[in-house]
Amino acid sequence: MIQSHVIEVSGVFAGAAVKTSSKFRFIAVDPRLDDLDQSEWPSLSEIRRVAAHVLVTGRLPERSMPAPHEPAR
């Protein structure tokens, strides 16, 4: 069974995270987060942190913050 987690930022439903074998895949529902859609992250807190940054600033974080991992194709 697939387990999903709601990703909410300041009361805004940003998307959902689905547990893969070792990471969490983010499925964006807010169009402002399209660049993060289908990206993979080591933890739910990382997804929330980066999603919040994008929603507040309108841009992806600087390189000093961990970048999302692209899913295997």
Residue 17 lies in a domain: yes
pLDDT reading at 72 higher than 70: no
State how many domains the chain has. Answer: 1
pLDDT in tens, 38-58: 999 999 999 999 999 999 999
Nearest to 54 by CA among 70, 39, 32: 32
Tokens of 12: 């805004």
* Residue pair 7/44 in contact by the 8 Å Cβ criterion: yes
Residue 23 lies in a domain: yes
β-bridge partners, 61: none
* pTM > 0.85: no
pLDDT value for 73: 46
pLDDT value for 71: 59
pLDDT value for 21: 87
Q: Which domain holds residue 37?
A: 4-57
Contacts made by residues 48-54, CB under 8 angstroms, sequence distance 24+: 48/7, 48/9, 51/7, 51/9, 51/14, 51/15, 51/26, 52/9, 52/10
pLDDT reading at 15 higher than 90: yes
